[in-house]
Structure 1
């Protein structure tokens, strides 16, 4: 009998490795499943982009002269690209008023640089689009300079 007891003590319990493998497999599945669920919960939601407006009529505005700093002048003529949401051709008086506010008193050197002129034009477009947005519908989508002369 001593021999039988010795063999029982020397041999490990059956299924020990099998249990360990099962526990590790369950832990991995739980870890991967939890990671996927966490990713789905906390990943940024896709925001649907606002559809691009459809171009409508183009309103040509009269040229205006704007006083710059140090006795210089800017002659500006622009057109407004309306969207199809605009019921009729837009009245450009508000856009011209915004342009006067945007460019009055600026230094000539600022507007001589292409980068600065592009930056100020983007600001002007943003202000005009905002001014011509009614009930969430944009009536103006872009501005085109047809004359931009500095003296």
Structure 2
């Protein structure tokens, strides 16, 4: 009988440790599941970004006539642009708006503001933004890019 008492005493702690082990596993699993759900909610794609309008597809390229723009200090800029239309444009866009925007943007600028590649790219990005905005009708982009085919400062 003494032997049986010893067996029951050893079995009791074993049951208790199994319960602890099961509780620990349950807590760890709950933490992993909760952390996974929290991580998903935190890092899931933004629904506003997911609903972003698709990029327009390129259509025809409209080549505009070269223009000469007066810069500051008696210098001139000879500029020739091409506009990348989208397939949403029903007809070839009139370039007069784009040329007017370019004249407004570059008139009376200093030569030094346009000589470096970095400055030219920065001004081109500004020009593109203004032209795309001017040629957007009811959230439909008619122009998607602007190309400089001639950019000469004298």
CA distance in 1, matches of 2:148, 2:6: 97
Which residue among 64, 69, 77 is the counterpart of 1:66?
A: 69
CA distance in 2, matches of 1:36, 1:91: 54
Residue 119 of structure 1 corresponds to which residue in structure 2?
122
Higher percent of residues as helix: 2
CA distance in 2, matches of 1:84, 1:92: 17
* 1:27 shift after superposition: 0.7
Can you give the 5+ residue segments of structure 1 that lack an aligned partner in the other structure? none
* 1:11 shift after superposition: 5.5
Residue 31 of structure 1 corresponds to which residue in structure 2?
31
Residue 17 of structure 1 corresponds to which residue in structure 2?
17
Secondary structure at the residue paired with 2:132?
helix
Alignment CA distance shift 1:34-1:101 (3 Å): same
TM-score for both structures, normalised by structure 1: 0.86
TM-score for both structures, normalised by structure 2: 0.84
1:139 and 2:152 matched:
no
CA distance in 2, matches of 1:22, 1:33: 16
* 1:39 shift after superposition: 1.3
Kindly provide the CA deviation profile for residues 41-95 of structure 1, in whole angstroms up to 9, marking residues without a partner as x. 2223253364332222222222221111111111111121111111111111111
CA RMSD of aligned residues (A): 2.4
Segments of 4+ moved more than 6 angstroms? none
Can you give the 5+ residue segments of structure 2 that lack an aligned partner in the other structure? none
CA distance in 2, matches of 1:82, 1:33: 50
Residues 116-125 or 58-67, more deviating: 58-67
